[in-house]
Structure 1
Amino acid sequence: MHPLRDVVEDVARHAPGLRETGDPGDETTGHAPFLLVVTRELAPVEETVPLLRLSGGRKPGVIDRHYEEGALEKFVPVEKTEPPAAAYLLLDADRGEEFCGAVPRGALTTLAERGRTPLTIEEGLAFVTHFPGALAKNRCFSLGASRCGDRRVPALWISERAPKLGWCWEGNPHSWLGMASAATRVAA
């Protein structure tokens, strides 16, 4: 059997109650009760992004040209957001559209005060993979849990009718860019 399939089946065996919640999530509100996240250890970001599609879309996802060669591997989870396993569950994910127009630094402070965690790049990719409609016009989101030690904050948005992984400065607000978050991460 394929190693990734083994990991996914192991996670599914440990989450029978989640499969029976009856809440499939709602793409229009940008919320998902749970997401299966696979880290770059099993599915490299550079290979995963082109698999993304918008809801009803056909164009593959792209990585913004402003990620210089080798830059993506430098964007790693910040303290307290490390993945608990190579594949795991992310609970109560939200694209954070209430933070559209907010400065990312301020949104991160608010999330911390609420006991929520920002999403990593891999978690954002999982969100759009499972719920393509979660990425919508004027309802895109930053991924504040992946950083590289400077002021850049990764984000997913729409460009030329396709998902795009890019970054914005932590001090700049964007009216169309929220801050995605979740309640917690759960290992199998």
Structure 2
Amino acid sequence: MSETSPTASAAVPALPSPSAQAERLIDLGVHEIAGLSAAGLRAFAESAGASPEGAGALLAVHPDRAPASALAPLLRLDGRPGFVVTDMSDVDLFAPLDGIALPDAPLYLLPGIDRGDHMAGWSPVEALPALAARGRTPLLLTEGIHWVLQLPAVLERNRCFMTIGSRLRKADGALDARTPAIWISNGTGRDGRERRNAPKVGWCWAGNRHTWLGFASAADRRGLGR
């Protein structure tokens, strides 16, 4: 999984309003994947926009309602659809790490999203306790996909990110060594040339470092009225 050294990165753009995010999800059919009505999604977004929780936050659908395998093909970069790497057919089995609590609701908010560029070159094993020490929570894979659905510009060549809040637990209880990430395909190997520059859901080993992957995190996860 080699990449060239990272280039200078522009600031990550701000998220649109919750209502604009809701319309984006409706346009993509995410509400139908999640078994939600368009009216219900709009009502949640309207309430979020009128509350302190909603300011600058990412609107996310609970992964039990909209799994990564259903969301990844909706990603687009320069017209190229997103995909999951062939050796991650178990992508939907990656679940929140112990200690990550999701709101008990189909929709929730993530304030204070950060791509974690400053942690590029760290390994997931190193990054996880560092995020916890700062009071940050690592993004789940589905949350990272939601972010890119709303802001494709979040993925930049050589400035992409890992979502280490999602891990696969093996039958013996140990964590699988793969850690999920979202980046831009080079169109090599099993990806296929036709997927060059497409958004890619893949993985890296938990102990490996990559100069082109930061560690996406948020300040918190919130339902409305917390």
Q: Tell me the TM-score normalized by structure 2.
A: 0.71
- Equivalent residue of 1:133, what SS? helix
Structure 1 gaps of 5+ residues are 22-32
After the TM superposition, which segments of 4 or more aligned residues of structure 1 sit over 4 Å from their partners? 18-21
One-letter amino acid matched to 2:160: C
Aligned to 1:49: 72
Q: Which structure shows the higher strand fraction?
A: 1
The percent identity for this pair of structures is 42
Aligned to 1:90: 110
- Equivalent residue of 1:94, what SS? coil
State which structure, 1 or 2, has the greater radius of gyration over its C-alpha atoms: 2
One-letter amino acid matched to 2:45: A
The equivalent position to 1:170 in structure 2, one of 206, 209, 214, is 206
Deviations 1:140-166 (A, max 9, x none): 111010000211110000001111000
Aligned to 1:75: 94
Q: Is the 8 A contact 2:53 2:222 kept in 1?
A: no
Mapped partners of 2:122, 2:200: distance in 1: 20
Mapped partners of 2:74, 2:151: distance in 1: 13
Structure 2 gaps of 5+ residues are 1-30, 169-174, 186-195
Give the RMSD, CA atoms, in angstroms.
Answer: 2.0
Q: Name the count of aligned residue pairs.
A: 173
Q: Is the 8 A contact 2:61 2:108 kept in 1?
A: yes
Deviations 1:113-157 (A, max 9, x none): 000000001110111011110111111111010000211110000
The equivalent position to 2:176 in structure 1, one of 150, 154, 158, is 150
- Equivalent residue of 2:57, what SS? strand
Is residue 100 of structure 1 aligned with residue 126 of structure 2? no
Q: Which structure shows the higher helix fraction?
A: 2
